[in-house]
Amino acid sequence: MNKLLFFTNNENKKKEVENLFKNLKYKILSPSDMSLIFEPNEIGKSFIDNAKIKSSYGFNKFNIPCFADDSGICIEALSWKPNINSKNFLGSFKNKNDCFNYILKKVNKTKKNKAYFITSICLTLNEKHHIIFQGRLNGTISNKAMGQRGFGFDPIFKPFKFSKTLGEMDKEEKNKISHRSIAINKLINFLTN
């Protein structure tokens, strides 16, 4: 099983995952490597449901082992939302800074600054065989957006016990602790043991 399809069209996620797999004997392919831009609708009720929708679709389309992730941020000041709607929530603002400012105002007003990132990964080995791996990173919303690295909500999320936001961390620092790397490392352990 040397080829693995990572069902994402998000280049940032793909780079993050390739970096975690770099010392292993797996070639990570993405839908764009197979000339596919389409992604199925994520209509699940949870991160696991959405990951499974994508990994099943990728497996059925190309008949090679496929994994997909669904990730998001849950923010105490927003009643633990946007949760599975994180991407759409971010996209509903004119730009990222407007979104960050909205969140920072809510945190300021409510004095609730806890947050966590969550990733669910589904590995589909055949039509009826799905294995789930999860990662979670707890932290707080920072006082202001800091750092140009990473993507999504990284510039306003500060992991517990760290003075930097994910947006200020370099790739290596982030990959040691991120919710996605926790889940991917569980997947790697499964594949290599």
Q: What confidence tier does 1 reach under pLDDT thresholds 50, 70, 90?
A: low
- Cα separation of 53 and 132, whole Å? 12
State how far the Cα of 124 lies from the Cα of 136, in Å rounded to an integer: 21
Domains defined along the chain, listed by start: 3-192 (3.90.950.10)
- Residue 159 in contact with residue 171, Cβ under 8 Å? no
pTM exceeds cut of 0.85: yes
Query: Tens of pLDDT along 102-138?
Result: 999 999 999 999 999 999 999 999 888 999 999 999 9
- Mean pLDDT for the stretch of residues 157-181: 93
What does the pLDDT look like over 33-72, one tens digit per residue?
Answer: 988 878 898 899 999 999 999 999 999 999 999 999 999 9
Instruction: List residues with catalytic annotation.
Output: 70
Token readout for 16 is 């993050």
